[in-house]
Amino acid sequence: MRNDQHEDLAHRAAAGDDTALHALLAAIRPGVLRRCARFLPCPQDAEESCQDVLLQVARNIHRFEGRSRFSTWLHVIVANSARQTYRSLKRRAAEQAYAAPPVEPADARTTSVIAGSRLDLLDALERLEAHRAEWVAPMVLRDICQLDYREIAEHLGIPEGTVKSRIHQARVHVRGSLTRGL
């Protein structure tokens, strides 16, 4: 299904058409799952985040006003959901660490470097959010969701120059955070 068909379904669903909503959710699910997997290396975690995104879309489609493209609106939900799922998993792991016996460290030969770098990036984004929350969304939308500067500016309601500046500052901070973590 093409993006213009997603846009049409989104507008119809926002107007209360349940058939369009069901068709929209079915159409976007594969792409949402792929985007969630960009953030979360474990397939089960990506699936959990994907389900959360689809639930949020179903519950909040009436808020989609069409001022930006549906795909932009969806990217923001995906990014926020994946980060929230990561925080939840991290919190659960910390709680279980107190209740469970010590676990052997992972074998470096079987641990994915890509998975590790994704988790490092999520940690760096979490630290950045605590420091300068307004820098996180532009960077995630540009570098992970791959939106263009104009789309980001429209969605966030800020000038394109501000978007570029925030992305630059976020990248500098995250790069430093990742370098210190090595």
Helix pair angle (3-14, 18-39), 10° resolution: 120
Looking at residue 143, the DSSP 8-state letter turns out to be I
Domain ranges of the chain: 1-103, 112-182
Residue type, 23: A
Q: Which of 58, 56, 60, 111 minimizes the C-alpha distance to 84? A: 56
CB atoms within 10 A of CB 130: 9
Beta carbons of 36 and 46 less than 8 angstroms apart: yes
Q: What is the model's pLDDT at position 137? A: 82
Tokens of 173: 């901070």
Question: What CATH code would you report for 1-103?
Answer: 1.10.1740.10
Q: Which residue has the tokens 């994704």?
A: 118
Q: What is the pTM of this model?
A: 0.63
Determine the topology of domain 112-182 in CATH.
Arc Repressor Mutant, subunit A (1.10.10)
Has residue 113 got a pLDDT over 50?
no
**Is 138 in contact with 156 (CB distance < 8 Å)?**
yes
The answer to whether 14 and 64 have CB atoms below 8 angstroms apart is: yes
**What pLDDT digit, counting tens, does each position of 125-167 carry?**
778 777 787 888 888 888 777 788 998 888 788 999 999 999 9
Whether 1-103 shares its CATH topology with 112-182 is answered no
Nearest to 28 by CA among 75, 62, 60, 67: 75
